[in-house]
Amino acid sequence: MKSYKIAGGLAALSAALTVSCVPARAQTVSAPVVVRKANPAPKQSTKGEWVRVQVIHADAYSIVVFEPGNERAIHTFTISPDLRDKMQSIVDRGGYQYGDKVKILHQPGQTVALKISGKPSKPS
């Protein structure tokens, strides 16, 4: 019985060695993959967009506002250097008070106020 087990094991070993000695086949070459150039990103508007908001707090360097339809949507805009002198003069006269309605021009995705339109209320 032992000789059959050894002979069977040798046969399997012999078959494994025979298969492993077969030379590897060359890989077939397929056509190259052509990659298209991506579409260019759409141009951002250089004009910016206006947003209608109400003032929470304003000073010469920043303005904190909320959207009238959603008081939980609070935004903080920094004042651009071009607008800072005008904003300082408004602050000197009393500035924007809580609840004043203003429109702010800004670039989409940025928080820099380029222009502010709206009449500040009279200081109390």
- What is the mean predicted confidence (pLDDT) over 102-122? 94
pLDDT at 23: 61
Across 14-18, 19-23, 36-40, 77-81, the highest mean pLDDT is recorded for 77-81
Q: Is residue 28 part of a domain?
A: no
Give the DSSP per-residue string, 85-105: HHHHHHHHTT---TT-EEEEE
Query: How many structural domains does the chain have?
Result: 1
Q: Is residue 109 part of a domain?
A: yes
pLDDT at 29: 74
Give residue-wise pLDDT tens across range 38-82.
777 666 557 899 999 999 999 999 999 999 988 899 999 999 999
Please state the pTM of the whole predicted model. Answer: 0.61
Q: Are strands 49-58 and 101-106 parallel, antiparallel or unpaired?
A: antiparallel
User: How far apart are the C-alpha atoms of 62 and 74, rounded to whole Å?
Assistant: 13
pLDDT at 35: 73
Give the range of the structural domain holding residue 55, as residue numbers without chain letter: 49-117
